[in-house]
Structure 1
């Protein structure tokens, strides 16, 4: 089986998106959204202002040149090799998850939530697994709103190979209890601020661990133990490379696009086909599509797509105010949303110098 990491064309035959000032971009996006019944498709770019690093930079290339994602078949392999892959994954995830857990919605999340609340954009599809769109609607981590479809799942739940589900905070505590030396290591990196770079999926960019992965213990599923089974094969409820999106989620994503009158794509390169095919579907149906993103995307070759090359955080709050008019100040929920949002810069994280013995 040959599975490759998705890429996007770095050189497009299509001309760059026309330059627009912030004011021009606000006006154009507002005009696009104003008729309502919009479906929104989001990617990692909308969470950058929450302090979560995107996979790619403005040139479309992976910002971590050593990025080597774990594939689904590797994670679920029950051989010794699979056990080693799970040690690698869960150690890196253990170190990276607190960044995702502690992240707060930024102004873009709240602005899009305001569009949902006002029924301008009743359907939102996200490729992100951080849960921040839900939190912008005043929901706690792991709690889901039925009008938000997480195309690639959520980091906030974990299930074992027999289907026993646990919330990620509980699982994180299991990992801490099983690995006191790594808990101390994580506490030290937190204290010193010398934390490794965290990717949008909670994985960390930390290549210096070497053989230290072999010291990490992945705990047994306690429910399986009660059923007289020994099982340490766990998986977060996210879609891995090489794993198929569940059919109900796939069907729902197409239905959300088909039921909308237009599609607004924001903060994504559309590198994954699961997202790109939704844009293609909108175009096939003759629905207007607008892409707001920094840098190249997989959609650049589709002439029907209108593009604005700009970070969402620069314009989206003013866009929503323009679309909603007096509602933006008179509706207390919308007014609160448009005054909310934490912007956190992404530190130039460095790898910790030495793994625990």
Structure 2
């Protein structure tokens, strides 16, 4: 089976120019004018979460730009042979250590600006490629869980749930406890990391970079529900779409419907390198819907003539866009006022100690 990591075609990268970004006032006006009629569908990617301290997939020091990076593919993770168990040992050890920083990450100013646009009714539907749950965090307490599921579609799943290959599901915190109980030596190591702040480099899917580790010492627990049914089963995975895995039909169909229901498409913080998102942009264009993209650096869609693109960081403009669109509600509505005052700006450092918000900080 041949499965590859998606990327931006080299022809597009080679043709990428250095056209000047618009001024901030001009960008704010363009985005505000685009969104003002309402009923916009939004697609977001990993670039939206960079200011929350979550590293992007591509761009400078991005994991997917490293030619030596070898991800675990879906068919490897679910393999029921000893070889598959070895892949799960590697995956779950790294994810065990990498999940807490993602779990504890806070929404940034972009998450809250988009949440304000959703709350104000200008963006009824948001499709995110991110698995960190930060769009939900920005609206939790304002909308209940049913409303969040109705208005936010997690195209590639979520890190916050785990399921076995027989359909038993458990929340991630419980699964972390199972991993801790099965691996007391790694629990002590994780506690030491938290105490000293020496967290390994964490990637957007909760994976960490580890050197010189013997993964065969890590124990992947069996699913307790399967054991109650008389089988031993260690084939467990997060509810995240792996390379080589198909998006569930229900999610795929809804993603197309969300694009179709919107009058326009706003694409934020993504290179669209993953085809599951790129095809949604193409679908919108086929339906003659206007499309605007806000992203730093080249994207897979840059060669599409119908695409209108603004090359600026999301955090530079979206708060001001909200203020321009909601008017006095920015002050008078306590929910919007709090959202516009909320959000961290804490980008991760790259391997040279610089922040990663420069060109290509997107997913």
| Corresponding residue number in structure 2 for 1:147 | 151
| Corresponding residue number in structure 1 for 2:184 | 180
Is the CA contact 1:26–1:319 (under 8 Å) kept in the aligned structure 2? yes
Answer yes or no: is 1:316 the counterpart of 2:318.
yes
| Corresponding residue number in structure 2 for 1:227 | 229
Question: What is the SS of the residue equivalent to 1:263?
Answer: strand
Question: What is the SS of the residue equivalent to 1:269?
Answer: coil
Structure 1 residues 301 and 12: CA distance shift in structure 2, 3 A: farther
Question: 1:186-232, CA deviations, whole angstroms, 9 ceiling, x for partnerless residues?
Answer: 122222222211111111122432xx100000011111111111111
Answer yes or no: is 1:2 the counterpart of 2:2.
yes
Question: What is the SS of the residue equivalent to 2:301?
Answer: helix
**In 2, distance between residues paired with 1:250 and 1:139?**
28
Displacement of 1:331: 1.5
Structure 1 residues 139 and 97: CA distance shift in structure 2, 3 A: farther
Is the CA contact 1:9–1:296 (under 8 Å) kept in the aligned structure 2? no
| Corresponding residue number in structure 2 for 1:290 | 292
Q: Gaps spanning 5+ residues in structure 2: where?
A: 353-363
| Corresponding residue number in structure 2 for 1:241 | 243
Structure 1 residues 288 and 58: CA distance shift in structure 2, 3 A: farther
**In 1, distance between residues paired with 2:38 and 2:60?**
30
| Corresponding residue number in structure 2 for 1:355 | none
Question: What is the SS of the residue equivalent to 1:318?
Answer: helix
| Cα RMSD, aligned residues only | 2.0
How many residue pairs match? The answer is 347
**In 2, distance between residues paired with 1:226 and 1:61?**
39
1:1-357 aligned at under 5 Å gives the runs 1-10=1-10, 11-13=13-15, 15-57=17-59, 62=64, 64-138=66-140, 143=145, 144-209=148-213, 212-348=214-350
**In 1, distance between residues paired with 2:203 and 2:16?**
30
Is the CA contact 2:56–2:62 (under 8 Å) kept in the aligned structure 1? no
| Corresponding residue number in structure 1 for 2:360 | none
Is the CA contact 2:52–2:345 (under 8 Å) kept in the aligned structure 1? yes
Question: What is the SS of the residue equivalent to 1:235?
Answer: strand
Structure 1 residues 139 and 89: CA distance shift in structure 2, 3 A: farther
Question: What is the SS of the residue equivalent to 1:290?
Answer: strand
Is the CA contact 2:168–2:225 (under 8 Å) kept in the aligned structure 1? yes
Question: 1:42-72, CA deviations, whole angstroms, 9 ceiling, x for partnerless residues?
Answer: 0000000111000112698845554322110
TM-score (norm 1): 0.93
Is the CA contact 1:262–1:288 (under 8 Å) kept in the aligned structure 2? yes
**In 2, distance between residues paired with 1:86 and 1:55?**
21
TM-score (norm 2): 0.91
**In 1, distance between residues paired with 2:325 and 2:346?**
26
